[in-house]
Amino acid sequence: MLTGKYDCTSFSKVDTDTKTNICNIISARWETFGTELVFTITADRFLRNMVRAIVGTLLELGTGKILPEDLKKIIES
């Protein structure tokens, strides 16, 4: 659900000086390395605190605090 070109304002810090919040997320994936869980994301650009907000949202999804439908709504908002 994260990949694609769209407005990433919902994952950005507010009141920034960017001209646009459109980002093209090329890939986003979790990998396990021993006991570590690593998130890797590739995009044409990142907004301030964007990766931190995405990881936090995905952790909420993974722990059941939000549903996949909620993630879709966050992206669309």
- 15: CATH: 3.30.70.660
d(CA 55, CA 50) in angstroms, rounded, equals 9
Nearest Cα to Cα of residue 24 among 1, 11, 49, 7: 7
Task: Name the band, by pLDDT with cuts 50, 70 and 90, for residue 17.
Answer: confident
Q: How many domains does the chain have?
A: 1
Domain range enclosing 55: 4-76
Report the distance separating Cα 77 and Cα 62, nearest Å. Answer: 20
Contacts for 14 with CB less than 8 Å, ≥ 6 apart? none
Q: How does the average pLDDT of the chain come out, rounded?
A: 94
Say how far apart CA 7 and CA 46 lie, in whole Å: 11
Confidence of residue 68 (pLDDT cuts 50, 70, 90): very high
